[in-house]
Amino acid sequence: MGPRKLMTTTHRVTRRAAVQSLLLLPSTMVLAAQEPPPADKDRALWNKVYSEEERRVTSYPNRLLADVVQGKTPGRALDIGMGQGRNSLFLARLGWDVTGVDISDKGIEIAKKEAEKANLKVNCVVADFATFDTGKDQWDLVAGIYMGGLILNQAKRIAEGLKRGALLVVENFHRDVNVTALTGGKLGYPVNALLETFVPLLRIVRYEEILDFPDWSNRGEKVPLVRMLARKG
């Protein structure tokens, strides 16, 4: 693929030669196939992931999210798939009123312990996000970081939950990573999938398909990623 113009910004996209070495990425990088398994299987999968110290996601907050909230007045934030709480705790330190949702009770357990150690208040909810009540006009910020197809499948509910002027931050693998998901199917968003899903719902502020270091990896290599910042109203 060559460079393409997408919405407001032009960005370089993936190079095939750079991704062929990524076929043996660790299974913890694998989030969602197009058809997710039942909730109990998802819970068991992610409980196993968060129980294995060496396979955990990075402990630092997502760089796109950190960049987006810099200088923003804190409000109510929803962290979809909070895992061990790295992004929720980061936002809480900045003064955000954070609710984190994750299907993994093991991940939530770790997040709660970390919040207690840091003397931070985070509302941690064990739930399948598909059944979580996002409400309407409730959130000043929603983060969907490495949540795969769930963000596409739940796009309408996510958009409805945002207040007017609120932000949605999304980062995930691009389909060009060329890896089979743990749950079957191909890992990552197809070309323009986020745009086609959210353009009718939100205003796209920033969109990138780019090679960069992912949050979920232990190989220290750049991989194809998709990043999006969108605003309601």
The per-residue pLDDT for 54 is: 54
The per-residue pLDDT for 51 is: 76
Closest CA to 199 of 154, 150, 155, 162: 155
The per-residue pLDDT for 230 is: 98
Average pLDDT per 10 consecutive residues for the chain, totaling 233 residues: 37 36 37 52 77 69 97 97 95 98 93 96 95 96 95 97 98 86 75 95 96 82 94 96
**Strands laid side by side in the 76-80 sheet:** 122-126, 97-102, 76-80, 139-145, 162-173, 223-231, 203-212
100 three-class SS: strand
Rounded Cα distance, 147 and 94, in Å? 23
Q: Which sign does the torsion angle of CA 51, 214, 38, 141 carry?
A: positive
The per-residue pLDDT for 17 is: 36
Is the Cβ–Cβ distance between 169 and 65 less than 8 Å?
Answer: yes
Cβ burial of 205 (10 Å; 0-12, 13-18, 19+) is middle
Domains of the chain: 4-231 (3.40.50.150)
Rounded Cα distance, 177 and 183, in Å? 16
